[in-house]
Amino acid sequence: MLPLLVPLPPMENDWISFDVPSLMQNFWSATFDGLTFGAIYALVALGYTLVYGVLNLINFAHSEVFIVGCYAVVFTLTSLGFGPSVPRLGLTAIILNLVLALVLAMAASAATAFLLERVAYKPLRKRNAPRLVFLITAIGASFTIQYIIYLVRGPSPEVAITMFRPLAIFDVFGTIIDSQQVVIVIAAIIMMVATERFISKSRTGRGIRAVAQDPDTATLMGVNKERIIITTFVIGGVLAGAAALFYVMKIPSGVQYSGGFVLGIKAFAAAVLGGIGNVRGALLGGLLLGLIGNYGQILLGNSQWTDVVAFVVLVLVLLLRPQGILGTSLGRSKA
């Protein structure tokens, strides 16, 4: 074992370097961009959080629910005549087209989530299968959907789509905020708030919270557990479909069979960061993770560091505060 005792030669020093001036210079643009990404993470994170809150299950296939929505957006917009160049349409026409794409993406994602629940999870629930079985099924389902897409669409990304020309709207601290960032953040926040209201006010939302707290008692109190579970999956799917539209808007060339995977992990990290099972936590965690990832990327000088940073955040949160910033209960969220 002698060779081991010899100290290793020093590593080449360039494997990691901190570019602080660059971060200082781009601080505000990184912040606004990070918030935009964060809003997308938050929408996907909600899907994880809701299902986790109700079933205590990490729905690994949620990233595929999301990517199906992305394909729906791409197909819809391509067939409506959108392409890599800026569309020559009026503002109203563009908005109408985007709303159509949004609705179809939501429908596609929700349908995927619905099918997933019926085909993969329900048989297991009926049998009262152990947790490990659920997790393996989830990852198997994710894998299956991913490779169905691969077989149909091949390995290369879809053609990039430009939805509209981003217009400068505000000028904050010398940094321009464009219409795209504004649309994404505002729309995402509206949807999150609507979801929050739905869960805390509506009858179905009360059912969701009841099942999250105690499924058996909820059933005794007349809540239709199966219907609540399927509703939860569908809500998660709808939000993932919305996230898909914004994702294609933000990263037009990112629609690829394996594209959901890394985003799924980041969204899950966001959910855990905010407190999994907590609706507001998903928003907070998403925005924070978007910011942290963007700062890290600029600080470390390579876009791929975003993923590494998100992962390190996930591990640190689990180490230091596993219940997340806002705590973990969906059931106990305010009525």
Partner 1 sequence: MSMVDGPTPLPEAAAEQAAEDREAKSTGPGTSVTPEKRGGRGIFGSLGERWNALPRQQQWAFLIVVVVLAYMLPLINPPIITTEPGNNFALACFDMARFALIAVGLNVVVGYAGLLDLGYVAFFAVGSYCAAMLTSPDSPFLHIPYLWTIPVAMAVTMFFGVVLGVPTLRLRGDYLAIVTLGFGEIVRILATIIPAMKGQVGFQNVGHPPGTEADGTPIFSNSNGVPWYWLTLTIIIVITLLVGNLERSRVGRAWIAIREDEDAAEIMGVPTFKYKVWAFAIGAAIGGMSGALFAGQVGFVNNQKFDVTTSILFLAAVVLGGAGNKVGAIVGGALVSYIPLRFTAIAEYKYLIFGIALVLIMIFRSQGLLPARQRLLAYGRTAYNKVAKKESSAIPGGEVPPAGRSGLGKGNGKGVQA
Binding interface with partner 1 (CB under 8 A): 3-4, 6, 8-9, 11-12, 14-16, 56-58, 60, 119-120, 123-124, 128-133, 135-137, 139-144, 146-148, 150-151, 261-262, 265, 268-269, 272, 302, 304-305, 307-308, 310-311, 314-316, 318-319, 322
**Please, what is the minimum distance in Å from the beta carbon of residue 316 to partner 1?**
8
Q: What is the DSSP string of 141-161?
A: HHHHHHHHHHHHH-SSPPPP-
**Please, what is the minimum distance in Å from the beta carbon of residue 188 to partner 1?**
23
Closest CB to partner 1 among 53 and 205? 53
**Please, what is the minimum distance in Å from the beta carbon of residue 86 to partner 1?**
33
Closest CB to partner 1 among 117 and 196? 117
Closest CB to partner 1 among 27 and 147? 147
| DSSP one-letter code for 170 | E
What token pair was written down for 231?
């509703």
Closest CB to partner 1 among 84 and 123? 123
Ramachandran sector of residue 263 (left: φ over 0; alpha: ψ -120 to 50; beta: rest):
alpha
Closest CB to partner 1 among 52 and 247? 52
The phi and psi torsions of 175 (rounded to 5 degrees) equal -110, 135
- In sequence order, what E strands does the chain have? 168-172, 175-178
**Please, what is the minimum distance in Å from the beta carbon of residue 295 to partner 1?**
17
**Please, what is the minimum distance in Å from the beta carbon of residue 5 to partner 1?**
11
Closest CB to partner 1 among 148 and 167? 148
Write out the H or E segment, with its range, that includes residue 177: strand 175-178
Residues in the chain: 335
Give me the sign of the Cα torsion angle 196, 245, 51, 202: positive
**Please, what is the minimum distance in Å from the beta carbon of residue 30 to partner 1?**
19
| Rounded Cα distance, 186 and 182, in Å | 6
Give yes or no for a contact between 157 and 254, defined as CB atoms under 8 angstroms apart: yes
Closest CB to partner 1 among 125 and 206? 125
Torsion of CA 149, 271, 244, 143, to 10 degrees: 0
What token pair was written down for 157?
């990304």
